[in-house]
Structure 1
Amino acid sequence: MKIQAKNVNRIALYSILLMILTAIHHYYASILYQSPWRLHVVQVSIVVIIYTLVAFVVFRKWQNTLFAKIVLSIFFVVTGIVSVAWIGIFEGGYNHVVKNIVFLIGLPESVTSTMFPPSIYHAPHDVFYEVTGVIQLVFACLILFYSYRFYQQRKTNQEN
């Protein structure tokens, strides 16, 4: 059970760090691009941070109870959908990694404007904004790695 707790600790830590980074990233972008609509992601980040902290405490305190298992299951769903899929893969991966590659290799504007409509996206020009966007994918990969380790350990424990 110790290894599982260690993996949950890391998943929670990286999810919280990802959400803090995401809040900073989107707050900064709302000012940089004068786009207050980006602030909704700050609110989502705060909700995910709060839920992650609650789930972490419940898991640590009542680890072997049905309630803790339900809370932990919901935690994995929230982390998988919000932190990994939406923020990590879509926001960090597509909106930043792919966008930076597309612009760096110099694809024609007809392609870039189709993939990244100018009404929503901006050509890379701000290092802080782009780096914090790319780091989102890094945190998502760390969450996936420790989630995989958690489930592998769980599977091993169930087989024994």
Structure 2
Amino acid sequence: MQTPQDIAAALTRRAALAGVAVMVLTTVHHVIGAVIYSTPWRLHIALLSVPTIAVLLGALAVHRRCAPTTAGRAAFVVLAAALVLVPIVWIGVFEGFYNHVVKDALYFLAPGSPVLLRLFPPPTYVMPDNALFEITGVLQVVPAWIAATALARRLLGPRAARSSLVMNG
């Protein structure tokens, strides 16, 4: 039987690695967009992705090595804050969900509607015209959701964590 510490460690690792996956996927997505739309400015995402991945993996390593200590707890706070701010909210909610899921849904359900054009005005936004770009944009939500749920279960404590690992393997 897993101890509460084992479960917390597994959820922390799952959240961190899902956060790294968000950053890798968003980098791939932005490179695709830079090439397809001849917009090299989209490559700026590397300036966010590389340091975010370094913070996530560094904080995870310190937390794993020193979990019960002040340094380990501080590393977890850094990890949780970085996860919430960048892969979960900025990329998952804003970039993946708003910029792609909502835009694509409105585009296909109400093409040309004033709401679509008000929420996603050209030239800032490009209406869906490339499946690979839109699919990779939408997919950013998946690892962000995994990171968010693992982190939430980790923060809620052993009972929630135990039931989550039993349900999710």
Out of 102-111 and 52-61, give the one that drifted further: 102-111
Of 129, 133, 142, the residue aligned with 1:129 is: 133
Aligned residues: 157
User: Are 1:116 and 2:120 matched, yes or no?
Assistant: yes
What TM-score do you get using the length of structure 2 for normalisation? 0.87
Deviations 1:10-64 (A, max 9, x none): 0011011111001111111111111122111122011111111111110111111
Percent identity between matched residues is 32
Q: Which amino acid aligns with 2:118?
A: T
Separation of aligned partners in 2, 1:114 and 1:58: 45
CA drift of 1:118 comes to 1.0
- In structure 2, the residue matched to 1:144 is 148
Of 6, 13, 22, the residue aligned with 2:10 is: 6
Separation of aligned partners in 2, 1:99 and 1:119: 14
Q: Which amino acid aligns with 2:122?
A: P
CA drift of 1:156 comes to 7.8
Of 24, 29, 37, the residue aligned with 1:20 is: 24
Question: After the TM superposition, which residues 60-71 of structure 1 pair with which residues of structure 2 at under 5 Å, given as runs?
Answer: 60-71=64-75
What TM-score do you get using the length of structure 1 for normalisation? 0.91
Separation of aligned partners in 1, 2:47 and 2:160: 38
- In structure 1, the residue matched to 2:164 is none
* Corresponding residue SS for 1:28: helix
**Structure 2 portions without partners, runs of 5+:** 162-169
CA drift of 1:123 comes to 1.1
Kindly report structure 1 stretches of 4+ aligned residues shifted beyond 6 Å: none
- Report the RMSD for the aligned CA atoms in angstroms: 1.7
